[in-house]
Structure formats: structure tokens, C-alpha cells
Amino acid sequence: MFYGTDLKSRLMLGTAQYPSPQVLREAIAASGAEVITVSLRREGSEGDAFREILRQSGCRILPNTAGCHSVREAVTTAQMARELFGTSWIKLEVIGHADTLQPDPFALVEAARILTEDGFDVFPYTTEDLIVGERLIEAGCRVLMPWGAPIGSGQGLRHRDALRTMRAHFPDVPLVIDAGIGAPSQAMAAMEMGFDAVLLNTAVAKALDPVGMARAFGAAVEAGRTAHDAGLMPCRDMATASTPVFGMAELA
């Protein structure tokens, strides 16, 4: 549940870089996603035709502040997005490093506080740092979106132990893996670890067959969460025979 909204799908899909509007439309449908993200800058450049695709998808829109590098820029972009899309949801990005696109934790927390006080439901793009997570919760965020790896890198879950620790540290906070996912198996791994959803874009949009890849990610996320809920077997240091020794024949 995200800010009081129940969703059936645990896959969130980005809308940038697709080869054509028709492919975007078909990929959204094939993924089963109920939430799609959109940059205010992209929407502004493509206008009514792109907005119509978003409307026809039937998905909930999660505008983002992609490309913002300061608190002022992010807050202004969020306010414009709320007016344009008519939603209080905002994926908050405040980039601090040009090469890795790592978020600026100090500006992120400040912008999150300003936006929550202004009535926004903030989805902050952050790292797996526990202290930053705590500060974002204190600022009013009720969801955290730690990265798996740098945006568009396809590296998957680079720091799995840290992500597991974050999941354990925030047991009651919805956590969404955002960025760096490059393969359905990586999305499945995130869900098996107990994360609540996965947000991705490039891995689908840049695939040879975006529609097929969107379908694969939808299935992977569902399988991973089902496995988590069913209870994954623990890892062991030693082998354990699946056939009991009792009852085996004794050979002289």
C-alpha cells in the first residue's frame, strides 16, 4: 500500500526512451503495471499526444523530478507536476553527482520536508543509507525508494547485504527498488528479499523487444513476491540429504 492506495501489481514502469508511442502503449499493457512514471520535462516537450497515451493506459501517474540538482528546482518541478497531472504523488529526485546520478542526501531530505508540508505524497529516490532513510521518514515520507545501482546501468542489486539490512530496519515502511535493474532475474531477487515493488525503465525501453521484456518483468516480479510470501528455504553451509537414511537397505 502506498499512501493509502492498494495496488495489485508490484511493478512500476518508466515511460522514457521507447522507440515509438505504440511500443510504449503495448509495453505498459504487457507489464501489468498500475503505476507509470513520467518526467515533467518530457511531458512538456511531447504535449497532448504523450498525455493521451498516459490517459489511455489506465495507470496511476507518478510524476518525477528527474534532472533536478537543487532543492528549489525539485520543489518547483513538483508543484508544476501537481498542477499538470492533478496528483499529490511525486517521485522526488535531487541529483548530487553527475556521473553516478547518486542523490544528494542533504538536498533530498530538505526538499522532502518542504513537499510533505505542502501536501505531497513523496516517493524519494535515495540510497540504501539507513540514516538518510530515517531522516526522510522524519521529514514525512511514508515510502522509500533505494537504488539497486546507478540509473540506467543495468547492474542490478549491487549492495545486497545493505539492502537486506534496510529491509529489516524498516519492516513497516514500503520499500521500492528504483534504478539499476537490468534483467528480470534482478527484479525477482529484489522481490524475494521482501521489497514491496520495483521501478524500472531502461531495461524495458531499450530491449530488442520492449513488449516481450515488459511481460517478462511483470512475471518475474510476481514470481519473486510469491516466493517470498511462500517462505524461501534458508541457505546452509553443509549438504542436507533429501532422502532420509532411515529405511535404506543394509548391504553386507
Domains defined along the chain, listed by start: 11-230 (3.20.20.70)
Tell which phi-psi region holds residue 194, choosing left (phi > 0), alpha (psi between -120 and 50) or beta: left
Q: Answer whether 0.85 is exceeded by the pTM.
A: yes
180 is in an annotated binding site: yes
Alpha-carbon distance of 151 to 215, in angstroms, equals 21
Of 127, 175, 117, 171, which is closest to residue 151 (Cα–Cα)?
A: 127
Please confirm, yes or no, whether 91 is among the known catalytic residues: yes
> What pLDDT, on a 0 to 100 scale, did the predictor assign at position 176?
98
Instruction: Give the chain's length.
Output: 252
**With 0-12 CB in 10 A as exposed, 13-18 as middle and 19+ as buried, what is 11?**
buried
Cα 100 from Cα 197, distance rounded (Å): 23
Instruction: Indicate whether 43 pLDDT > 90.
Output: no
- 202 is known to lie in a ligand binding site: yes
pLDDT at residue 208 greater than cutoff 70: yes
- Across the chain, mean pLDDT equals 92
Model pLDDT for residues 146-177, shown as the tens digit of each residue: 999 999 999 999 999 999 999 999 999 999 99
Confidence grade of residue 87 (pLDDT, cut at 50, 70, 90) = very high
pLDDT computed for residue 187 by the predictor: 97
Question: Is there a contact between 225 and 190 (Cβ–Cβ < 8 Å)?
Answer: no
**How many C-beta atoms surround the C-beta of residue 82 within 10 A?**
19
Residue closest to 210 by CA, chosen among 201, 220, 221? 201
Place of cell 534482478: 186
Catalytic member of 10, 82, 91, 215: 91
